Structure 1
Amino acid sequence: MQPRVVIIGAGIVGTGLAEEITRLGWTDVTVLDRGPLFRTGGSTSHAPGLVFQTNPSKTMADLARYTVRKFGELDAFDAVGGLEVATTVERWTDLHRRHGWARAWGIDARVVDAEECVRLFPLLDPDRIFGGLHTPTDGLAHAVRAAERQAEIAAERGARFIGYCEVVEVLSKDGRVTGVRTADGQEIPADVVVSAAGFWGARLGRKVGLTVPLVPMAHQFAKTGAVPALGGDERLPILRHQDADLYYRTYGERIGIGYYGHAPRPVDMDALTRDTAGQPMPSMLPFTTAEFAPAWAESSKLLPALSDTEVSEAFDGIFSFTPDGFPILGEHRELAGFWVAEAVWVTHSAGVARAVAQWIVQGGTEIDLHEADLYRFEEAALSPEFIERTSVQAFVEVYDIIHPHQYRAAPRNVRTSPFHARQRELGAFFFEGGLWERPGWYEANAELLDEVAATGVEFPVRDDWSARFYSPISIAEAAWTRTHVAMYDMTPLTRYEVSGPGAAAFLQELTTNDVDKKPGSVTYTLLLDANGGVRSDLTVARLGERHFQVGANGPLDFDWFTRHLPGDGSVVLRDITGGTCCIGLWGPQAREVAQPLCPDDLSHKAFGYFKAIRTYLGTVPVTMLRVSYVGELGWEIYTSAEHGAALWDLLWAAGRSRRVIAAGRLAFNSLRLEKGYRSWGTDMTTEHTPAAAGLGFAVRMSKPEFLGKKALESAPPPDTMLRTIVLDAASAVVLGKEPVRVDGTVVGYTTSAGYSATLGRTLAYAWLPATVQPGDEVEIAYLTQTFTARVHTDPVVDPDMARIKR
């Protein structure tokens, strides 16, 4: 018997889901909407339909590419092309960066001069622009038509669509959905319920105890009267003027104008009916005319022909915004069968529908969705205050030029390690990640610059873009770690305690390597999905027969573990991150600092690499793991948060004679690149197998079974590989996500990058065809420049591990 599926919402996402789910063979699908079919009154009904595919996220770009392809097949897309223009030098440079993303993700695009921009869009004032980015395959999605066409196809396969049918309750029993109840009292049974309710999704989520972190926001959209100079030419490209927070599209002789420059206006859903009274639909608020004045003034400068017309109709439309700008997708962990597909714009709608349908029906997706996963947020990020503040900021930054190392300005200091006060005393420049304050570098180490330079280490001058959120002090910190000793705050590393009689078997079943070793062992291992893609990488320390400490990557790992816990209570999973802290003490003199403090023998013979002990440093109880992600002798030293400040002061005092320093994340990143260590989510995802990512050593195929093993057994050799490349010029810098060319053809893209103090060159990882081998030359397009580089074997520093195993 087929599962029964109920989809709440008949907009662009709900109808797309119905089509994709029925395409996969599940045909018992019912789609309900509180409004009429298919102009339901949600965001789909008034969406302007502009589809710009280029995105800094490969996932979002892939979702948009599929939307373009599918809507084209449905005759619901006009490939009029997309044009983004620059009126400032900064935007002109940024369009080159966007061009790089497009090429990296396989999207045809070209940077064009002002003259070509005017040829493409004759209404432009050429004296106002430097040039633009033209993407021929961008265009206009006809959202309601796309919804109708997808619904028609799904209905032919057996799906049914019911309008004016509001869901007021999700029914469940024993932790699983059983159906929905509608406003008229009807109960519709279901094994799977999907919320595709758009900006109503957060309210619906609360009905089942789920926080859906989205904020409905009002966004201005206006249509002009007839523009004589336009002449009814609907084939003009869609247009972005991001320097002024504006976009444009044509409607025959008229032009539609969208504006993000007004003050953000979160929508009060409790007052929605009152606020939209008299409007054509509940997703349209009255137009705030005064706030549109700057948009009209700027539009008239860019498009002088607008002086012959005026705004003839306008409204403030409601769209969903999230704290990080990504959709909210996934299954409720505490209510099996309840799924969400929310905060999805028309641009990505068909791609999202396809991916979520695969996830529901097949248990996994072809495309990596970790950036959009429902459970990607830390607990504090689910607070109402955090959701609203960050979603409002996301609205403000829609068209801002965002640096890849730029972190949110507020809220800050939500999570701090016990070392925070000491770090501030040392002049730490803090980044933010996972709500943690993370030192990037320390101004106290500026005094090392001359001393390190005297040893031959170079400090190349960076261009203005790469010099943001950067300091040459980080190079000095990395070099000092290689020659002396440094303390790194590793507290933000996510840590779980896995315990109980079934702990070892549980971890064996989920991970690729053999973790069922004797207590005191440490194992680097991977989590795979059913397709053999890398979900995460872990460091598993066995501290007792029934007790493991797992170093993980974030909330998605906790979600994965939780979903796979045995039902007999034999395994207990706890997130211990907030109650503990960690110092990475690394460098050739690390043993001289730690040994006098410790009653146990810390020699290599007594305490070898990838081993763990519980001991004391002074009076502080610690767990020491002999691992090193900077490629030097040392340990990750853990203790409870109450002892954190004492541990820092103890090591700092003991290291004074060895000139110990505190070092930050930039130095850490460059050192781990030198050692060939990967960062999950940046360097590899579920779209990559361990072999492709260079992590085959972490897979023990001799194990009887582990999740993903069957897929690996039948997997063909990878056609792309993650390679290390070394840039040729000492001053050349890349930051990640740049396209890589071989013989003039784009064949891949970079992921992580950092400057190697050891080599005096920038290193980067890049996904390249397997045919590209060490020694081969490649080219990298960085902003307006092109750099040459060579593929290098991993790791580029200390391949024999002699420095770690001293």
Structure 2
Amino acid sequence: MHEGQRVAINATTGDPREQRDGIEVVMTGPRVVVIGAGIVGTSLADELTGRGWTDVTVLDRGPLPATGGSSSHAPGLVFATNPSETLSRFAQYTVDKFRGLAEASDRLCFNPVGGLEVATTEARMTDLHRKAGWARAWGVSARIVDAAECARLHPLLDPATVLGGLHTPTDGLADALACVDIQRRRAEAAGARFVGDTRVRAIVTAGDRVTGVETTDGIHPADVVVSCAGFWGVEIGAMVDLRVPLVAMGHQYVETTTVDPLRGSVDPRVGKAAATLPILRHQDADLYYRQHGDRIGIGYYGHRAMPVDMDRLYRDTREQPMPSMLPFTPTDFAPAWTESIRVLPSLASASVADGFNGIFSFTPDGGPVLGPHPGLDGFWVAEAVWVTQSAGVARTMAHWMIDGSPDLCVAGCDIARFSTRETAPDHVTAMSARAFDEVYDIIHPREQRSIQRDLTVSPLHERHRARAAVFVTSHDWERPAWFEANTALPQIDTASAASAHRDDFSTRHWSPIVLAEAAATRAGVGLFDMTSLMRVQVSGTGAVSFLAPILTRDPDRAVGTVIYALMLDPSGGVLSDVTVARTAAESFQIGINGPLDLARLRTLARVARRDGADVEVREITSETACLGVWGPAALALVDPLSEAALGPDDLGFYRTVRTRIADVSVLAMRVSYVGEFGWELYVAADDAVTLADELTTAGASLGAVWAGRGALDTLRIEKGYRSWGTDMTAMHSPDEAGLAFAVAKNHDFAGRAAMSQRPVRRRLHTLVADDPGTLLLGREPVTGPDGTVGHVTSAAFSPIVHRTIAYAWGAPELRVGDRVHVDHLATTATFTVSPTTTVDPENARLKGRTA
């Protein structure tokens, strides 16, 4: 048998009683094998055993307790401010847990020295204000401070070199190995077993379920296997045909010789977390600093990306203390040392005493990789997790594994979030190198990547290019944000709109053409390329019975019916919202929210087939195209070209029909994501250009415009339509998200019982700015009249209302007319709580009743 082979054998169930050190231990829960005894694997063992799953075995190829992975050399920075609420919550729990470990032992596991991010440019200062908003939205203590206060907090800093900073007093330093050791001992006391110096050779399976792990010292039976192998995770994933999209990268870290002013500021306590100075991050130069006694440790992200050749790892590190430490390359560090002396002048009398290029895991989008294998029951991953989020990730993984759903939204962390093309090795390598380059960069929320473009395009892509489309990416797809060819459209030339354009940061990577396209759609007819929205076909004699329990509405309706429904998790949270069209007696076309939904449906179908069901799930996105045709003049455009009558009295809302338009076979679906009368027109990919050209020609006399995603977002926000993943997630119930209408009263489905018992803790509200000049980007903190803090999800300036409309989570007690305050960058704006639908609440436009 070769290493890395996936073995299919029958594993015995085994007796729950085991002899450990001569003592009979009764194990509870399934047999769990965790691969990797670093900070993540050990934290997970501690969380699992703490919740009653005590039959846990943790394996590592390195020696215990310092296994030689990233945890063994990690600098230990723990900071909770993050644009992602989930990653922030992970970090906050990590801080709380590690502080508790320190209080329960004599080890300095965590030291809350605080964090200080400094700005040397106005752009960075603006970004720190944005970060302060995130901190407030997620409940992290943070404050903007001036240059003098920065120097008071970190006396080595020259205040003349900075403009100000962001101080986060609850951040701190973790001694990763101390945290590993204490959690390992706790897990062992509860029944877990740790085995070092053993290499995984294969994952043992029976059918589509994991049954064990084969190592160099034998087979460990398992019902659940979790890979927490860090940068070895790619190798473990390959054993079960799972692409784990991460790249091991070298990251420079040095320690200086003695820095004279620190001699009197040495923390007398013992351990890697000992320090008196806060963590200092000088992100304009890709640098961070932490104290080591009378020395300074310096981490640097400004050097070239250093992807690691895993086949050469042991050869390249044979002279190093551990395999996760590559030899130091002084030339790469030279600019960092020069800049460090400039901002910390005391370093001029010191020098670099020691350095290494430490190996960490980077992913295409910079996030961790968590969750179950979509094709193999019982196999899980928790990879690319840094010390900062380690304990929080472990807690969420334990919730997910034991309860069936995580305690936080993991959509941005789930391994299934990537499309097939996004997990291709060339894409992973290129995008992970970009993620390394951008660790400390200022990233605008609308900023687009410059690499790995044009991977997947619509059949209309060349037509869009001819109209000077400005493209944005969604997964591997290119789609137009707006069309520069529409500069001749009437602009929204009002005093309020002009005022709105004064905020340079908020209007970056944006164009007023967006507003012109939205207004033209409301006035006439807009043509939208919706091809990139993922679609699947669910078919088979068991299609109805397969879909019924996973949708909040009964799909067993007449052919030609369309329903809008939700999928809920076991806790009653909104996993996704979908549009389900019954196109034949045994076939449905479903519009889904991307790779996560696709993986979910495929997994459910696999399990259903295992139980004898006749059902198939097939993605049809690339073989079809979709054109949205919406607006008051939509019928005047399409009706003369269509064989079937498509008027409001002929094809009702949420109905679909097959017809021919411009002699092209079309599935016309009477739905709208912009709040205007019209249809989504589905055609074979090969026919898309023909149909689009005919509609463009016929629409010229009606003022038809091609419009992009910017206009689509503006229109859907005006109409009160939600966007899953942005406005609501599995952390929200249908009632909280304003989607209770999508839940049938007399239909049974997964999550219904939990949903009915779930209290309403917050609601998604519609807000309208009082000042026409106020613009928002999302994730800004919102303070209600009672002082409770929520946050903005979506926002857009409305060409109809002439103000910014935003969705925001807030207290359920908020009522229409209440005033709230939204912090945006360095300003605070007043918004008024408004009805859910701002434009056309009577649905006259949607019904086609508008002239």
Tell me the TM-score range normalised by the shorter chain: over 0.9
Per the alignment, residue 583 of structure 2 pairs with 543
CA contact (8 A) 2:496 2:773 kept: no
C-alpha distance in 1, partners of 2:658/2:496? 40
Q: Does 1:557 align with 2:594?
A: no
Measure, in 2, the Cα distance between the counterparts of 1:15 and 1:219: 24
Give the equivalent residue in structure 1 for 2:124.
91
- Cα deviation code 1:516-561 (max 9, x no counterpart): 2111111111010010000000011111111111011001101111
* Whole-angstrom distance in 1 between the partners of 2:282 and 2:500: 35
1:346 to 378, 387, 406: 387
Deviations 1:352-400 (A, max 9, x none): 0111111112211111111110111011111110000000000000000
Q: Residue by residue, what CA displacement relative to the aligned partner does 1:491-533 show, whole Å, maximum 9, x if unpaired?
A: 1111011111111222111011232211111111101001000
Residue 532 of structure 1, aligned match among 569, 572, 581 = 572
User: 2:71 is matched with which residue: 19, 29, 44?
Assistant: 44
Seen in structure 2, the aligned counterparts of structure 1 residues 728 and 151 have a Cα distance that, compared at 3 Å, is same
| 2:408 equivalent to 1:364 | no
Match of 1:217 in 2: 249
- Report the Cα offset of residue 271 of structure 1: 0.3
Aligned-residue offset at 1:463? 1.4
Structure 1 position 28 matched with structure 2 position 55: yes
Q: How is 1:376-775 mapped onto 2 (pairs within 5 angstroms)?
A: 376-450=417-491, 453=493, 460-565=500-605, 566-567=608-609, 568-703=612-747, 705-716=748-759, 718-743=760-785, 745=787, 747-775=789-817
Match of 1:293 among 308, 311, 334: 334
Give the Cα–Cα distance (whole angstroms) in 1 for the partners of residues 528 and 688 of structure 2.
13
Q: How far did residue 636 of structure 1 move?
A: 0.5
Look up the SS of the partner of 1:474 in the other structure: helix
Output the amino acid matched with 1:380: R
Determine the C-alpha separation between the residues in 2 that align with 1:713 and 1:728: 36
Contact 1:459/1:472 (8 A) holds in 2: no
Unmatched 5+ stretches in structure 1: none
Deviation at 1:460, TM superposition (A): 3.4
Contact 1:194 1:340 in 2 (8 A): yes
Partner of residue 224, structure 2? 192
- CA distance in 1: counterparts of 2:209 and 2:591, whole angstroms: 31
Kindly report which structure 2 residues correspond to 1:77-226, keeping only aligned pairs within 5 A, or say none.
77-184=110-217, 186-226=218-258
Q: Pairwise CA RMSD of aligned residues?
A: 1.3
Question: Where does 1:779-794 land on structure 2 (aligned, <5 Å)?
Answer: 779-794=821-836
In 1, Cα distance between the equivalents of 2:617 and 2:794?
31
Report if aligned partners of 2:133, 2:824 keep a CA contact under 8 Å in 1. yes
C-alpha distance in 2 between matches for 1:603 and 1:699: 28
Return the offset for 1:140. 0.3
Q: Secondary structure at the match of 2:155?
A: coil
Contact 2:496 2:803 in 1 (8 A): no
Confirm or deny that 1:336 pairs with 2:368. no
Alpha-carbon separation, structure 2, partners of 1:314 and 1:521: 66
Give me the TM-score of the superposition, normalised by structure 1: 0.98
Equivalents in 2 of 1:486, 1:364: separation in Å? 40
The alpha-carbon deviation at position 455 of structure 1 amounts to 13
2:6 match: none
Distance in 1 separating the partners of 2:327 and 2:148: 39
CA–CA separation in structure 1 for the residues paired with 2:35 and 2:410: 22
How many residue pairs match? The answer is: 802
Q: Are the equivalent residues in 1 in contact too, given 2:249–2:360 (CA < 8 A)? A: yes
Query: Secondary structure in 2 aligned to 1:370?
Result: coil
What's the counterpart of residue 19 of structure 1? 46
Offset of residue 715 of structure 1: 1.8
The 2-side partners of 1:119 and 1:330 are apart by 44
Amino acid at match of 2:120: T
- The answer on whether the counterparts of 1:32 and 1:161 sit within 8 Å (CA) in structure 2 is yes
> What is the CA deviation profile of residues 228-272 of structure 1, one whole-angstrom value per residue up to 9, with x for unaligned ones?
111234211011000000001001101100000000010000000
1:350 is matched by which residue type in structure 2? A
Q: Distance in 1 between matches of 2:262 and 2:557?
A: 73
Output the amino acid matched with 2:637. V
1:61-101 CA distances to partner (integer Å, 9 max, x unpaired)?
00000000000000111111000000111001100000000
Instruction: Judge conservation of contact 1:739–1:746 (CA < 8 Å) in 2.
Output: no
Q: How far off is 1:449 after superposition?
A: 3.0
Identity of aligned residues (%): 52
Contact kept? 1:538, 1:551, Cα under 8 Å: yes
Matches of 1:192 and 1:376, distance apart in 2: 22
What residue in structure 2 maps to residue 70 of structure 1?
97
Give the partner amino acid of 1:349: S
**Letter paired with 2:37:** A
Retained in 2: the 8 A contact 1:726–1:792?
A: yes
Query: Out of 333, 341, 355, which is 1:314 matched to?
Result: 355
Q: Which residue is equivalent to 2:847? A: 805
1:4 matched residue in structure 2: 31
- Answer yes or no: is the 8 Å Cα contact 1:221–1:314 preserved in 2: yes
Could you tell me whether the CA contact under 8 Å between 1:243 and 1:399 is conserved in 2? yes
CA separation in 2, counterparts of 1:99 and 1:573?
44
Letter in 1 for 2:711: A
1:792: how far off?
0.5
Q: Kindly provide the amino acid, as one letter, of the partner of residue 259 in structure 1.
A: Y
Query: Take 1:454 and 1:738, find their aligned partners in 2: how far apart are those partners?
Result: 26
**Matched residue of 2:250: which SS?**
strand
Taking the aligned partners of 1:601 and 1:262, their CA distance within structure 2 comes to 63
Distance 1:647 1:746 in 2: 51
Alpha-carbon distance in 1 for matches of 2:112, 2:330: 32
Per the alignment, residue 11 of structure 2 pairs with: none
How far apart are the structure 1 equivalents of 2:824 and 2:495?
Answer: 30
In 2, the alpha carbon distance for the partners of 1:301 and 1:38 equals: 39
The answer on whether the counterparts of 1:82 and 1:137 sit within 8 Å (CA) in structure 2 is yes
Query: Secondary structure in 2 aligned to 1:678?
Result: coil
- Partner residue, 1:53: 80
**Aligned partner of 2:278: which letter?**
P
Equivalent residue of 2:666, what SS?
strand
Distance 1:554 1:106 in 2: 30
Is contact 1:39–1:144 with CA below 8 Å preserved after alignment?
yes
Deviates more, 1:638-647 or 1:452-461: 452-461
Separation (CA, whole Å) in 1 of partners of 2:706 and 2:502: 24
What secondary structure does 2:671 align onto?
coil
Structure 1 residue 148, shift from structure 2 partner: 0.6
Contact 2:134 2:779 in 1 (8 A): yes
Relative distance call for 1:460 and 1:334 in structure 2 (3 A) is closer
Structure 2 unpaired stretches of 5+: 1-15, 17-28, 103-108, 267-274
In the alignment, which residue of structure 2 is the partner of 1:272? 313
Distance in 1 between residues matched to 2:496 and 2:400, nearest whole Å: 53
- Secondary structure of 1:222's aligned partner: strand
Q: Secondary structure at the match of 2:211?
A: strand
The 3-state SS of whatever aligns with 2:320 is coil
